Amino acid sequence: MPYSPTVSLNTSSIDAVNATAFALMYGYPLVLYVQTFEPTLRAVGANAIQHEGGLATEGLELLVHPNVDTLYSKAAIDLSHSDVVFSLLDIPTDRYHVVSFYDLYGNNFANLGSVINSPPGGYLITIAEDDGSDLSMLDEDTYEGSKYMGIIKFPTTHGSIMLRIVLKNNTIDIHEVKSIQSQIKMSTIERAGEPMASALMPSLLGDGQLSPAALLLPFNLSANQTTQTL
């Protein structure tokens, strides 16, 4: 039988590895969420869209890697007390656009837009139950008739939306994209029952105390490097 050397790891080493893995998988995404969306909460509040006024730069820190030919919009989602309706307008099919939905840990679980030829209209955003988190398209014979085009079920009470619209050129076309941005709306609707969690406010995210921690990472990784690691 061939000899196979074994490597012995003591309990403290295993604990340290597990703790580091847990922090990178679950802790750092929360810090990145705070870094990205605490300014949004202060600017427009939860369940409201904040539009970037100009083109993205390579140094822009987002949950996604920004493209320099794209205008971004983002929203911090709070389903603790109510559901949300996202209204998608009729955007020309030759205009690349995507509305990405993320849970609190940065997992992209659903998308609308030209990537799936989403029809315009209202989409209900609510908490996922036992049937899991996803996007379910509806027809006039299902949930509340034709009131909603689909239901987006979030796996976490708090999360985010990132909207990207690509410019056809970087000068004249920017005004057209800004016009499209201004017509995309969100609204809240009452939901029966007790609140499911605390309301999403800057105070819940540490009032600015956690954002600097995004730069204090193991092994001196930058925010972008750690995002790539995740």
* pTM for this model (two decimals): 0.76
Alpha carbons 160 and 154: distance in angstroms, whole number: 10
Which residues have CB under 8 Å from 189's CB, separation 6+? 82, 83, 84, 85
| pLDDT bucket at 52, cuts 50 / 70 / 90 | confident
For 51: left if phi > 0, alpha if psi spans -120 to 50, otherwise beta; the answer is beta
- CATH code linked to domain 39-197: 2.60.120
Q: Using alpha carbons, select from 189, 165, 33 the residue that is nearest to residue 99.
A: 165
- The answer to whether 107 and 162 have CB atoms below 8 angstroms apart is no
Domain range summary for the chain, segments of one domain joined by +: 39-197
Q: Using alpha carbons, select from 59, 58, 66, 27 the residue that is nearest to residue 217.
A: 27
pLDDT of residue 104: 92
Judge whether residue 61 has pLDDT over 60: no
Judge whether residue 162 has pLDDT over 80: yes
